[in-house]
Structure 1
Amino acid sequence: MRMSPFTYVLTPPSVFFFSRGLSASNHRNREDSWFKSLFVRKVDPRKDAHSHLLTKNEESNLYKIQFHNVKPECLDAYNQLCEETLPSIHNDKYYPCELVGTWNTWYGEQDQAVHMWRYRGGYPALTEVMSKLRQNKEFMKYREERGKMLLSRRNQLLLEFSFWNEPIPRKGPNIYELRSYQLRPGTMIEWGNYWARAIGYRQHNSEAVGGFFSQIGNLYMVHHLWAYKDLEAREATRNAAWQHEGWDEVVYYTVPLIQHMDSRIMIPMKASPLQ
C-alpha cells in the first residue's frame, strides 16, 4: 500500500506537554536567576586581612591562651609546679614573653587552669621563645611533670582588638570572667564595629581587662576578659550597663552573630600578675 505524500506523524500528548513544560521551566529558571541576581550581595575586593583592620599592630603583640584540664587529685600539685616555674620565665629578659595571667576556673569547667602569655614582637618572638625553652632543662622537666597531671590541654594564638585595653598587672583580690564567643564565619568585622562603641559603656568600674580574637586554633573565636571584686560587683556592673543609652542596641545586633558562648569565673593563682 502506497502512503500519501501528506503523511502525518502523531505525537503523543504526554511528549507534547513534557516538551512544553520543559521549555516553560527553563524560561522560569532564567527569570528566577535574573531576579535573584538583583539581590546577591557582592563582595568588595580587599587588600588587607581582617586582622589588620581589627588589631593595633599584628607585629607588636601576639597572645597565647592555654586551657589545661587537670586530674582532680593533682590540682594542688599542678598549681605549685606552675607557681615554681612560670614566674622564672616571665622575669627572665632572655625570653621575649610575659605571663599576663594564670588562673584556676571557679565556675565553669572544673579542675581547669588557664594561662595567658604575651609575645612582644609577634610570631618571631613566639618562635624564639619556643626554641629557647626547648634548651631549658628546668622547663623540659616541668613539662614532663605537668604531663603526668593533665587529662587534656589545648591552646589558641590570639591578637588583641585595637579598641580594648592592653592587659596590665592588677592588685587584688579580684575574680576574673573570661567570656568566650564562637562567632559565625564572616562576622568578625561586624562584631568589632559594634564593640568599638560598646567598650565605652563597660569602663566605669575599670572592669575591662582585655579583648582578643583567634588567629590559630578555634577560628572566629572572641575572648573578653573582665575583672570584678566579687560576684555581687559583677552583677551590679553588668546591670548598670543597661542604663547607658546604646548598650541595648549593641546587644540586639551582636547576639545574632554568635553561634556559641561560654563564661568562666576564674581565681588568680599566686604567681599571676593579674590578681
Structure 2
Amino acid sequence: MPSRPTPLTALRARPRPLPSSLVTSPRPRAFPTSLVPRAAALSTTAQRASVKDYAAAFLHGSEEAKEHLKQQHSKLVGRHKYVHELQRHQVLPQHVEQYKKLIEGYYRGIHESSEFDARLTGSWEIVVGDVDTFVHIWEYQGLGGFERTKAAIRESRGHLQFFNHEILPLINSRNSQLCTEFKFFPVTDPQERGGLYELRTYDLKPGALLEWEHEWRGGLEARIAAGHTPVACWYAGIGKLHTVHMIWHYASLEARREIRAASWLNDKWSNTVSRTVPLTQSMTSNILKALPYSPMR
C-alpha cells in the first residue's frame, strides 16, 4: 500500500503532461484471401452475393475484424495507469450545507489515511445544471486498488457507520462509474486555479468510441489554441457505458463564452464537431465550483 503525505494540501500528483504528439491510428487491417470471390466456380447469383460480401468487407471490415476491433477499443484508447471513480451525490436541498461539512471530514479521513489505497482528485458542487449535486473523483492504483479500498471501508466500522448514519440520510440519490483516462488526454496535476470548472458528458452510440476518440483527438489542438484549459477526460468502463466525461477549467463564465466563440473560427474545430456529433446520442454540461478541501480547485 503506497504511503502519502498526511496533509491534504501537500498532495502532489504524478506529473502527467498533455502529450505534444497525438496517438497514432491503428494499422490498416489486411483482408484474408478467403474473402475474394472465386467467380469461375460460382453461379451468377452466387457471384453477385459473394462480390457484395467482398465489397462490404472492403468498405466496412469483415464481421470478424469488426468484432476484434471492438474488443481492442479499450487497449487502443485507454491509458490504464489508474482507475478513476466518478461519484455523484444528489443531496436534499435543505441539507446541502450540512452535507458539505460532513463529507469534507469523511473524505479527508479516507484520503489522508494509509489504510486506504485511494487518492482524492477533486470534489465539486454543481452550481449551473444539476444543482444540489456534488461530484467527487477518486483515483486508485488500478481495479485492485479500488477493490482494496472498498473492502477496507466495509471492514472499518467507524467509517461505514459514520457514512450510513450521518451522511446517507442527506442524499436523495447517488451513482458511480469506474472510468479510464484517454491516452491523448490524461488527468492534469491537482492544483489551485480558482475560477470554475465545466463537466461535459457525452453519451455515445454503442460501438462509436474508437471513431469518436480519433476525430475528437484531432480537434483538441484547435481547442487549446483558442484558450481552453483541459483538465481531464475519461470513458466509462463500469457503470453507465458508452459515456465520455471531460473537465475543462475557465476563469469565469464570460471567459468561457469568449473562448468557445474563438474555437469556431478554427475550421479544424468545426470539422471535428461535424464528424463527432453523428456519433453522439446526447450531451450534458454542468458548471462546477470546487469545494474548499478539493485538491483540484
Task: Settle same-fold status: TM greater than 0.5.
Answer: yes
Q: Post-superposition shift, 1:33?
A: 5.8
CA distance in 1, matches of 2:157, 2:105: 14
Aligned residues of 1:182 and 1:222 also touching (Cα < 8 A): yes
- Whether 1:266 aligns to 2:291 is no
Q: 8 Å contact 2:117–2:149 — kept in the other structure? A: yes
Partner of residue 11, structure 1: none
Q: AA paired with 1:249?
A: N
The 3-state SS of whatever aligns with 1:173 is coil
Counterparts of 1:23-102 in structure 2, within 5 Å, are 37=53, 38-39=55-56, 41=60, 42-43=62-63, 44=65, 46=68, 49-56=72-79, 58=80, 60-102=81-123
SS in 1 for 2:68: coil
| Structure 2 spans left out of the alignment, 5+ residues | 1-44
Shift of 1:155: 0.8
Identity %: 30
Give the superposed CA RMSD: 2.3
Alignment of 1:153-232 (within 5 A): 153-204=174-225, 205=227, 207-232=229-254
Structure 1 segment 133-172 matched on structure 2, within 5 A:
133-144=153-164, 145-172=166-193
Conservation of the 8 A alpha-carbon contact between 2:181 and 2:233: yes
Per-residue CA deviation, residues 184-224 of structure 1 (Å, 9 max, x unaligned), is 01110001111222222233446100000000111110001
* In structure 1, distance between residues paired with 2:200 and 2:77: 19
Which 10-residue stretch deviates more, 146-155 or 86-95?
86-95
Q: How do residues 222-261 of structure 1 correspond to structure 2 at under 5 angstroms?
A: 222-261=244-283
Q: Which has the higher helix share?
A: 2
Q: Report deviation, 1:34.
A: 6.2
Tell me the equivalent position of 2:146: 126
Over alpha carbons, which structure has the higher Rg? Answer: 1
Q: Separation in 2 of the partners of 1:138 and 1:200?
A: 48
Task: Give the Cα–Cα distance (whole angstroms) in 1 for the partners of residues 258 and 296 of structure 2.
Answer: 22
Shift of 1:137: 3.2
2:92 aligned partner, one-letter code: K
- Per mean C-alpha deviation after superposition, the further-off stretch among 140-149 and 44-53 is 44-53
Task: For residue 168 of structure 1, give the secondary structure of its aligned residue in structure 2.
Answer: coil
Partner Cα distance (1:135, 1:253) in 2: 48
Q: CA deviation at 1:270?
A: 1.1
- Partners of 1:245 and 1:94 lie apart in 2 by 51
- Give the gaps of 5 or more residues in structure 1: 1-28
